[in-house]
Amino acid sequence: MSSANYDPGVIVRALRFRAKLDGFRLERGHYMDRPDDRADRWYAVPLGDSDAPRSGEGFPTIMAAANEAKRLRKLREASIPDD
């Protein structure tokens, strides 16, 4: 079954939910107050960050941003020493 058979809104909500499990929220950039923000990009922002720095390259799709959140969680887990 191809992704064309799914409601895009459901896919976005599912990816955002998955990112929250990884400790991130997925946000779109905008051109409101920072010259680097990109309205055509997605960003993986840590949940505790109330002033998200959506600057830089970002990701062209929400799926790529969700994969980045997963990669960052795994990287964080790998850097925590075992007691």
pLDDT in tens, 4-58: 677 888 999 999 999 999 999 998 877 566 666 667 889 999 998 887 767 678 8
52 Cβ neighbours under 8 A, 6+ residues apart: 27, 43, 45
Q: What is the CA radius of gyration of the chain?
A: 14
What's the pTM value of the predicted model, to 2 decimals? 0.75
Q: Tell me, what amino acid is at 46?
A: P
- Phi–psi pair at 26, nearest 5 degrees: -105, 125
Amino acid at 83: D
pLDDT at 32: 61
β-bridge partners, 43: 27
